[in-house]
Amino acid sequence: MASETTTVKEIPIEIKSAKKSIWLQMKKMKLLYVMLLFPAVMLFIFSYLPMYGVLIAFKNFSPGLGIWGSPWNNFEHFTRLFEDFLFIRALKNTLIISLLKIVIAFPAPIIFALLLNEIRNQKFLKVTQSISYLPHFMSWVILSAMIIEVFSPQRGIVNFIITAFDGDPINFLSSKVFFVPVLILTDIWKEIGYGAIIYLASIASVDPAQYEAAEMDGAGRFKKMIHITLPAIMPMVIILFILRLGGVLNAGFDQILNLYNPLVYEVADIIDTYVYRSGLEQFQFDYATAVGLFKNIIGIIFILGANAIIRRKSEHGIW
């Protein structure tokens, strides 16, 4: 009864003067707008103003003339882009490294979560999990310092093992053959545990009755994993996979910038590191911005595409 009377009261007012009531509402909530102003201004300065700076991708930028005053150059940087051997190489490396990471590093946390789920000793499970996501909380600078030691030809354990089997020491981080495998391996090291958290959460939401019913039917461990646990995490796997595909142009800037060196540029230089070097080390601001813009536009198309696919899929009920 009570709710009926309030709706009857409110409707005529809203029809009469919707505009006025919005205004009144805003007046009532003015303090909330004042609060919003602080983060909104900060966001405008540090996220929106740089979008204006992207204009230099279409100009011959000279710092003296400023962003607006510099002359337009008829997409010169973009035509140069496709004749630039170093850019083509960076694009190729980005795709190779990223796709290898998707194929090899993406499934790792899924397998890790499925196997962890088979452990029934809760204490063991917790300790293993805590150890597994420790590297996630370290920066690539710190991890690189460790990786350099592990693979060092002078003292690294990997080369110690190789020489123990009468092999010759390998300088992994300067080798065009081994650099990319090291990237993938260390990427797994950093993210396998943290990536598994979300899958373990989906597994935890499975109704135990399902497992019990399967056991009644004589299903073993492996059958339960394939027929109950895996389908339970599949929606999450699909969503994360699509999102990962959307980010295919991000091959791991922090990781590569800290591990690579000129000897392996041929296989390791990705678009982001190329933008960094040509922009901030060689000071070709305008060209580097054009390269970055090219990458961002393709990246946004991929990510928005990925989001659209997820939305459509989840409507049609992979859930």
Partner 1 sequence: MVGKKRFSIFEWLLMIGFIIFSILVLYPFWQTLVLSFSDPNQASSLGPNLWPERWIPDAYQFVFGYGDIMQAYANTIVRTLSGTFLIVAFTMLAAYPLSKRDLPYRNTITIFFLIAMFFSGGIIPDYLLVKNLGLLDTRWALILPSAVNVFYIIIMRNYFMTIDKGIEESAFMDGASYFTILTKIILPLSKPVIATIALWAAVFHWNEWFHALVYIQDDSKTVLQMIVRDMLTAMDLSQSANGAAIGGGGGGSSENLLLSNVRAATVMISIGPIVLVYPFVQKYFIKGIMIGSLKG
> Within 63-82, which residues bind partner 1 (CB under 8 A)?
67
Write out the two tokens for 138: 């370290």
* Shortest distance (Å) from residue 260 CB to partner 1: 9
- Which of the ranges 2-10, 75-83, 88-96, 295-303 carries the binding residues for partner 1, by CB under 8 A? 295-303
Pick from 157, 213, 226, 234 the residue near partner 1 by CB under 8 A. 157
| Interactions with partner 1, residue window 231-260 (CB under 8 A) | 254, 258
CA-only gyration radius of the chain, Å: 27
Residue carrying structure tokens 């939305």: 311
3 state DSSP class of 103: helix
Name which of 155 and 312 has its Cβ closer to partner 1: 155
Pick from 110, 143, 203, 248 the residue near partner 1 by CB under 8 A. 143
Residue 150 binding partner 1, by CB under 8 A: yes
What CA–CA distance (Å, rounded) separates 60 from 48? 22
* Shortest distance (Å) from residue 77 CB to partner 1: 12
- Residue 72, beta-bridge partner list: 59
* Shortest distance (Å) from residue 220 CB to partner 1: 8
Residue 300 binding partner 1, by CB under 8 A: yes
Interface map 16-55 toward partner 1 (x if CB under 8 A): ------x--xx--x-xxx-xx-xxx-xx-xxxxxxxxxx-
Number of shown-chain residues binding partner 1 (CB under 8 A): 87
Residue 266 binding partner 1, by CB under 8 A: no
**CA nearest neighbour of 264 among 196, 194, 181, 146:** 181
Scanning the chain, the segments in alpha helix (DSSP H) are 2-16, 18-28, 30-43, 49-53, 66-69, 76-81, 85-100, 107-116, 122-132, 140-150, 157-164, 179-204, 208-216, 221-224, 230-246, 253-259, 265-268, 271-276, 285-315
* Shortest distance (Å) from residue 132 CB to partner 1: 6
What CA–CA distance (Å, rounded) separates 58 from 285? 11
Name which of 41 and 103 has its Cβ closer to partner 1: 41
Burial environment of residue 159 by CB neighbours within 10 A (0 to 12, 13 to 18, 19 or more): buried
| Interactions with partner 1, residue window 100-139 (CB under 8 A) | 115-116, 118-121, 124, 127-128, 130-135, 137-139
**CA nearest neighbour of 260 among 155, 191, 176, 136:** 176
Interface map 205-224 toward partner 1 (x if CB under 8 A): ---------------xx---
Neighbours of 275 (CB within 10 A): 23
* Shortest distance (Å) from residue 113 CB to partner 1: 12
* Shortest distance (Å) from residue 59 CB to partner 1: 12
| Interactions with partner 1, residue window 271-290 (CB under 8 A) | 275-276, 279-280, 285, 288-289
Please, what is the angle between helix 85-100 and helix 179-204, to 10°? Answer: 40
* Shortest distance (Å) from residue 297 CB to partner 1: 10
* Shortest distance (Å) from residue 171 CB to partner 1: 9
